[in-house]
Amino acid sequence: MASRRGGVSLPERPHNNTPSDGILSRVSSKISESPILYQGKQAASDAGFVAKKLLRSTGKAAWIAGTTFLILVVPLIIEMDREQQFNELELQQASLLGAPPK
């Protein structure tokens, strides 16, 4: 009995392992049904899930740290730079006027 696919007649394939099957197909079917392989796939899936969660939470933490730095630390750095420039300007003016530096 033949099945029809796209107008081409294909012979029926047996679903059980018979002596006519090659050794490669028997070995690959045994490997694909292996509980060790199933556990390995499950462990890889779990590791991927944990890695995804870790990256997402790390990204959120980096966002919080970055925005906090921009809001709190950058204005402080700018103000300290202005203060340093002001002090340098005062020293320059004092030296031009002949007053001894402090």
pLDDT band for position 46 (50/70/90)? very high
Find out whether 95 and 101 touch, Cβ atoms under 8 Å.
yes
Q: What is the CA radius of gyration of the chain?
A: 37
pTM exceeds 0.85: no
6 in helix, strand or coil?
coil
pLDDT computed for residue 77 by the predictor:
96
**Is the sign of the CA dihedral 76, 80, 86, 89 positive or negative?**
negative
pLDDT computed for residue 22 by the predictor:
80
4: part of which helix (H) or strand (E)? strand 2-5
Give CA–CA dist 86/102, Å, rounded.
15
